Amino acid sequence: MLRVRLMNFLLTSLLTLAGALIAATPSAAQVVVVADAGEDLSIECSASGGTLLTLDGLGSTVNGLMAALDPNTSFLWEAAGIDFDDETSPTPNAEFPLGTTTVTLTVTHTDPGTLVQTSSQDTVDITVSDTTPPALVVLADPLILWPPNHELHEVHSVVVVTDICDPDPDVVLTSLTSSEPDNGTGDGDTVDDIQGADIGSDDRDFLLRAERAGNGDGRFYTAVYNTTDASGNSTDGLAQVRVPHDQGDLKAAKKAAKAAKKAAKAAAKAAKKASKDAAKAARDAAKAAKKEAKAALKNSH
Protein backbone atom coordinates (compact mmCIF):
# COMPACT_ATOMS: atom_id res chain seq x y z
CA MET A 1 0.00 0.00 0.00
CA LEU A 2 2.86 2.36 0.88
CA ARG A 3 4.43 1.69 -2.48
CA VAL A 4 1.21 2.59 -4.27
CA ARG A 5 0.93 5.83 -2.35
CA LEU A 6 4.51 6.69 -3.17
CA MET A 7 3.94 6.08 -6.87
CA ASN A 8 0.83 8.25 -6.81
CA PHE A 9 2.77 11.02 -5.08
CA LEU A 10 5.55 10.88 -7.65
CA LEU A 11 3.07 10.87 -10.54
CA THR A 12 1.22 13.84 -9.11
CA SER A 13 4.48 15.73 -8.63
CA LEU A 14 5.58 15.06 -12.19
CA LEU A 15 2.24 16.23 -13.58
CA THR A 16 2.42 19.37 -11.48
CA LEU A 17 5.98 20.07 -12.67
CA ALA A 18 5.02 19.47 -16.29
CA GLY A 19 2.09 21.83 -15.94
CA ALA A 20 4.34 24.49 -14.50
CA LEU A 21 6.83 24.10 -17.35
CA ILE A 22 4.07 24.34 -19.93
CA ALA A 23 2.68 27.44 -18.26
CA ALA A 24 6.14 29.04 -18.25
CA THR A 25 6.66 28.42 -21.99
CA PRO A 26 5.24 31.25 -24.21
CA SER A 27 2.64 29.98 -26.64
CA ALA A 28 1.71 31.51 -29.99
CA ALA A 29 -1.32 33.07 -28.33
CA GLN A 30 0.93 34.83 -25.80
CA VAL A 31 3.12 36.47 -28.45
CA VAL A 32 1.96 40.00 -29.30
CA VAL A 33 3.39 41.36 -32.55
CA VAL A 34 2.78 44.99 -33.48
CA ALA A 35 3.90 46.18 -36.92
CA ASP A 36 4.73 49.88 -37.23
CA ALA A 37 5.53 51.17 -40.74
CA GLY A 38 6.09 54.73 -39.55
CA GLU A 39 4.21 57.96 -40.15
CA ASP A 40 2.73 58.87 -43.54
CA LEU A 41 5.19 61.01 -45.50
CA SER A 42 4.77 63.85 -48.01
CA ILE A 43 7.96 64.78 -49.85
CA GLU A 44 9.06 66.86 -52.83
CA CYS A 45 10.17 65.05 -55.97
CA SER A 46 13.96 64.93 -56.23
CA ALA A 47 14.60 63.02 -59.47
CA SER A 48 12.81 62.04 -62.65
CA GLY A 49 13.45 58.34 -62.08
CA GLY A 50 11.88 58.34 -58.62
CA THR A 51 12.46 59.96 -55.24
CA LEU A 52 14.74 58.00 -52.94
CA LEU A 53 13.42 57.44 -49.42
CA THR A 54 14.27 55.28 -46.41
CA LEU A 55 11.32 53.59 -44.70
CA ASP A 56 11.29 53.07 -40.93
CA GLY A 57 9.89 49.94 -39.30
CA LEU A 58 11.94 50.23 -36.11
CA GLY A 59 8.82 51.04 -34.12
CA SER A 60 7.58 47.46 -34.60
CA THR A 61 7.52 45.33 -31.44
CA VAL A 62 7.23 41.75 -30.20
CA ASN A 63 5.85 41.57 -26.67
CA GLY A 64 6.72 45.24 -26.24
CA LEU A 65 10.36 44.85 -27.30
CA MET A 66 11.96 46.08 -30.52
CA ALA A 67 11.15 43.51 -33.20
CA ALA A 68 14.30 44.28 -35.18
CA LEU A 69 16.38 42.85 -32.32
CA ASP A 70 14.46 39.55 -32.21
CA PRO A 71 16.28 36.84 -34.25
CA ASN A 72 12.98 34.99 -34.66
CA THR A 73 11.17 37.93 -36.24
CA SER A 74 11.17 38.86 -39.93
CA PHE A 75 10.14 41.95 -41.90
CA LEU A 76 8.55 42.16 -45.34
CA TRP A 77 7.80 45.42 -47.18
CA GLU A 78 5.48 45.39 -50.22
CA ALA A 79 4.12 48.04 -52.61
CA ALA A 80 2.87 47.87 -56.18
CA GLY A 81 5.57 48.83 -58.68
CA ILE A 82 8.21 49.50 -56.01
CA ASP A 83 11.61 47.80 -55.87
CA PHE A 84 13.20 47.85 -52.42
CA ASP A 85 16.94 47.51 -51.97
CA ASP A 86 16.14 44.93 -49.25
CA GLU A 87 12.45 44.26 -48.62
CA THR A 88 13.35 42.21 -45.53
CA SER A 89 15.18 45.04 -43.79
CA PRO A 90 13.54 47.06 -40.99
CA THR A 91 14.72 50.19 -42.86
CA PRO A 92 14.83 49.58 -46.64
CA ASN A 93 15.47 52.16 -49.34
CA ALA A 94 13.20 52.60 -52.34
CA GLU A 95 12.45 55.11 -55.09
CA PHE A 96 8.88 56.40 -55.23
CA PRO A 97 7.06 57.94 -58.23
CA LEU A 98 4.81 61.00 -58.25
CA GLY A 99 1.55 60.56 -56.41
CA THR A 100 0.65 58.44 -53.39
CA THR A 101 1.99 54.93 -52.91
CA THR A 102 0.68 52.70 -50.12
CA VAL A 103 3.35 50.46 -48.61
CA THR A 104 2.49 47.43 -46.47
CA LEU A 105 4.79 46.15 -43.74
CA THR A 106 4.32 42.60 -42.43
CA VAL A 107 6.17 41.65 -39.25
CA THR A 108 6.21 37.91 -38.45
CA HIS A 109 7.44 36.14 -35.31
CA THR A 110 8.19 32.42 -35.60
CA ASP A 111 8.21 30.36 -32.40
CA PRO A 112 11.57 28.52 -32.45
CA GLY A 113 10.07 25.47 -30.73
CA THR A 114 6.69 25.02 -32.34
CA LEU A 115 7.37 27.01 -35.56
CA VAL A 116 4.00 28.68 -35.02
CA GLN A 117 3.94 32.11 -36.66
CA THR A 118 2.30 35.27 -35.39
CA SER A 119 2.05 38.23 -37.80
CA SER A 120 0.97 41.85 -37.80
CA GLN A 121 0.58 44.35 -40.64
CA ASP A 122 0.72 48.12 -40.94
CA THR A 123 0.62 50.50 -43.90
CA VAL A 124 2.25 53.82 -44.66
CA ASP A 125 1.36 56.27 -47.45
CA ILE A 126 4.23 57.91 -49.32
CA THR A 127 3.13 60.99 -51.27
CA VAL A 128 5.57 62.53 -53.74
CA SER A 129 4.67 65.97 -55.08
CA ASP A 130 6.24 68.20 -57.72
CA THR A 131 5.76 71.90 -57.02
CA THR A 132 8.97 73.15 -58.65
CA PRO A 133 8.58 74.72 -62.11
CA PRO A 134 10.99 73.84 -64.91
CA ALA A 135 13.96 76.06 -65.66
CA LEU A 136 13.79 77.54 -69.17
CA VAL A 137 16.58 79.24 -71.08
CA VAL A 138 15.97 80.54 -74.61
CA LEU A 139 18.52 82.10 -76.94
CA ALA A 140 17.97 83.18 -80.54
CA ASP A 141 20.47 82.38 -83.29
CA PRO A 142 21.39 84.83 -84.69
CA LEU A 143 20.85 87.51 -82.06
CA ILE A 144 21.44 90.37 -84.51
CA LEU A 145 20.12 90.98 -88.03
CA TRP A 146 22.44 93.27 -90.01
CA PRO A 147 22.45 95.13 -92.30
CA PRO A 148 18.81 96.38 -92.29
CA ASN A 149 18.34 95.59 -95.96
CA HIS A 150 14.75 94.28 -95.73
CA GLU A 151 15.88 90.69 -96.33
CA LEU A 152 14.28 87.77 -94.49
CA HIS A 153 16.61 85.72 -92.30
CA GLU A 154 16.24 82.24 -90.85
CA VAL A 155 16.25 82.38 -87.06
CA HIS A 156 16.51 79.39 -84.73
CA SER A 157 15.60 79.42 -81.05
CA VAL A 158 17.92 77.40 -78.85
CA VAL A 159 15.70 76.15 -76.03
CA VAL A 160 17.13 74.46 -72.94
CA VAL A 161 14.62 73.03 -70.45
CA THR A 162 15.58 71.42 -67.15
CA ASP A 163 13.13 69.93 -64.68
CA ILE A 164 13.90 68.00 -61.52
CA CYS A 165 11.04 65.56 -61.91
CA ASP A 166 9.93 65.57 -65.57
CA PRO A 167 12.62 64.51 -68.08
CA ASP A 168 10.70 65.96 -71.04
CA PRO A 169 8.46 68.97 -70.27
CA ASP A 170 6.26 70.41 -73.04
CA VAL A 171 7.53 73.51 -74.85
CA VAL A 172 5.30 75.92 -76.78
CA LEU A 173 5.96 79.13 -78.71
CA THR A 174 3.29 81.43 -77.25
CA SER A 175 4.06 84.63 -79.17
CA LEU A 176 6.44 86.24 -81.64
CA THR A 177 6.22 90.01 -81.91
CA SER A 178 8.04 93.08 -83.18
CA SER A 179 8.64 96.31 -81.30
CA GLU A 180 7.69 98.22 -84.45
CA PRO A 181 4.70 98.09 -86.80
CA ASP A 182 4.91 95.61 -89.66
CA ASN A 183 5.15 98.46 -92.15
CA GLY A 184 5.81 101.59 -90.15
CA THR A 185 7.24 104.95 -91.05
CA GLY A 186 10.74 105.02 -92.47
CA ASP A 187 11.38 101.27 -92.54
CA GLY A 188 10.90 100.60 -96.22
CA ASP A 189 7.87 99.40 -98.13
CA THR A 190 7.66 95.77 -96.97
CA VAL A 191 5.16 93.68 -95.01
CA ASP A 192 5.08 90.24 -93.35
CA ASP A 193 8.24 90.89 -91.36
CA ILE A 194 7.54 87.73 -89.31
CA GLN A 195 6.92 84.52 -91.25
CA GLY A 196 6.78 80.78 -90.67
CA ALA A 197 6.01 80.93 -86.94
CA ASP A 198 3.52 78.32 -85.74
CA ILE A 199 2.20 79.87 -82.54
CA GLY A 200 0.96 77.32 -80.01
CA SER A 201 3.42 74.61 -81.04
CA ASP A 202 7.04 73.77 -80.26
CA ASP A 203 8.24 75.87 -83.21
CA ARG A 204 11.86 76.91 -82.95
CA ASP A 205 12.50 78.05 -86.53
CA PHE A 206 11.01 81.04 -88.34
CA LEU A 207 11.85 83.99 -90.62
CA LEU A 208 12.46 87.57 -89.49
CA ARG A 209 13.07 90.61 -91.66
CA ALA A 210 16.20 92.72 -91.22
CA GLU A 211 14.29 95.96 -91.03
CA ARG A 212 13.84 98.87 -88.62
CA ALA A 213 12.28 102.32 -88.68
CA GLY A 214 14.67 104.96 -89.90
CA ASN A 215 13.40 107.42 -87.33
CA GLY A 216 13.42 104.92 -84.45
CA ASP A 217 15.93 103.37 -82.06
CA GLY A 218 16.22 99.99 -83.72
CA ARG A 219 13.88 97.01 -83.70
CA PHE A 220 13.48 94.09 -81.32
CA TYR A 221 11.77 90.84 -82.21
CA THR A 222 10.67 88.91 -79.13
CA ALA A 223 9.89 85.20 -79.09
CA VAL A 224 8.14 83.99 -75.91
CA TYR A 225 8.14 80.31 -75.01
CA ASN A 226 6.34 78.42 -72.26
CA THR A 227 7.34 75.10 -70.75
CA THR A 228 5.04 72.97 -68.60
CA ASP A 229 5.97 69.81 -66.74
CA ALA A 230 3.79 66.76 -66.08
CA SER A 231 2.57 68.24 -62.79
CA GLY A 232 1.36 71.46 -64.41
CA ASN A 233 4.20 73.69 -63.24
CA SER A 234 5.13 76.19 -65.93
CA THR A 235 7.76 78.78 -66.77
CA ASP A 236 7.98 81.46 -69.46
CA GLY A 237 11.19 82.40 -71.22
CA LEU A 238 12.00 84.72 -74.09
CA ALA A 239 14.59 85.35 -76.73
CA GLN A 240 15.15 88.61 -78.55
CA VAL A 241 16.57 89.35 -81.98
CA ARG A 242 17.80 92.89 -82.54
CA VAL A 243 17.94 94.97 -85.72
CA PRO A 244 20.28 97.83 -84.79
CA HIS A 245 19.46 101.32 -86.00
CA ASP A 246 22.98 102.20 -87.19
CA GLN A 247 26.66 101.27 -86.90
CA GLY A 248 26.93 102.78 -83.43
CA ASP A 249 23.90 100.84 -82.30
CA LEU A 250 25.38 97.73 -83.91
CA LYS A 251 28.42 97.93 -81.66
CA ALA A 252 26.22 98.09 -78.56
CA ALA A 253 24.06 95.26 -79.89
CA LYS A 254 27.07 92.99 -80.33
CA LYS A 255 28.16 93.71 -76.77
CA ALA A 256 24.67 92.92 -75.48
CA ALA A 257 24.52 89.74 -77.55
CA LYS A 258 27.79 88.54 -76.06
CA ALA A 259 26.47 89.18 -72.56
CA ALA A 260 23.19 87.39 -73.38
CA LYS A 261 25.03 84.28 -74.56
CA LYS A 262 27.13 84.24 -71.41
CA ALA A 263 24.08 84.68 -69.18
CA ALA A 264 22.15 81.95 -71.00
CA LYS A 265 25.04 79.53 -70.64
CA ALA A 266 25.34 80.29 -66.93
CA ALA A 267 21.59 79.91 -66.38
CA ALA A 268 21.48 76.54 -68.14
CA LYS A 269 24.46 75.33 -66.12
CA ALA A 270 22.88 76.49 -62.86
CA ALA A 271 19.59 74.73 -63.68
CA LYS A 272 21.35 71.43 -64.38
CA LYS A 273 23.34 71.78 -61.16
CA ALA A 274 20.15 72.41 -59.17
CA SER A 275 18.65 69.22 -60.59
CA LYS A 276 21.74 67.19 -59.67
CA ASP A 277 21.88 68.78 -56.21
CA ALA A 278 18.27 67.79 -55.50
CA ALA A 279 18.99 64.15 -56.36
CA LYS A 280 22.18 64.21 -54.28
CA ALA A 281 20.32 65.68 -51.31
CA ALA A 282 17.83 62.80 -51.46
CA ARG A 283 20.65 60.25 -51.56
CA ASP A 284 22.40 61.94 -48.62
CA ALA A 285 19.15 61.97 -46.64
CA ALA A 286 18.66 58.25 -47.27
CA LYS A 287 22.22 57.52 -46.12
CA ALA A 288 21.69 59.61 -43.00
CA ALA A 289 18.44 57.75 -42.22
CA LYS A 290 20.23 54.40 -42.59
CA LYS A 291 22.99 55.62 -40.27
CA GLU A 292 20.46 56.74 -37.66
CA ALA A 293 18.67 53.40 -37.89
CA LYS A 294 21.91 51.47 -37.27
CA ALA A 295 22.66 53.70 -34.29
CA ALA A 296 19.18 53.11 -32.88
CA LEU A 297 19.58 49.34 -33.18
CA LYS A 298 23.02 49.45 -31.58
CA ASN A 299 21.83 51.55 -28.65
CA SER A 300 18.90 49.18 -28.07
CA HIS A 301 21.11 46.16 -27.40
C-alpha distances in angstroms, 245 versus 4, 33, 179, 229? Answer: 129, 82, 13, 39
Q: Cα 245 to the chain's mean position, in Å? A: 48
pLDDT score, position 193:
96
Domains, the chain: 29-129 (2.60.40.10), 135-246 (2.60.40)
Rg, the chain, Cα only? 36
d(CA 226, CA 159): 10
pLDDT score, position 7:
40
Asked if 33 contacts 120 with a C-beta cutoff of 8 angstroms, the reply is yes
Closest by CA position to 75, among listed 63, 84, 88: 88
Residue type, 81: G
| Its pTM surpasses 0.85 | no
pLDDT score, position 3:
45
pLDDT (tens digit, 0 to 9) for every residue of the chain, 301 residues total? 444 343 454 334 433 433 443 333 444 458 999 999 999 999 999 999 999 999 999 999 999 999 999 999 999 999 999 999 999 999 999 999 999 999 999 999 999 999 999 999 999 999 999 999 999 999 999 999 999 999 999 999 999 999 999 999 999 999 999 999 987 665 565 789 999 999 999 999 999 999 999 889 999 999 999 999 999 999 999 999 999 999 988 888 788 888 888 887 887 788 777 777 777 776 777 677 667 766 766 676 6
pLDDT score, position 16:
47
Cβ-based neighbours of 256, under 8 Å, separated by 6 or more: 242
Asked if 238 contacts 224 with a C-beta cutoff of 8 angstroms, the reply is yes
pLDDT score, position 269:
81
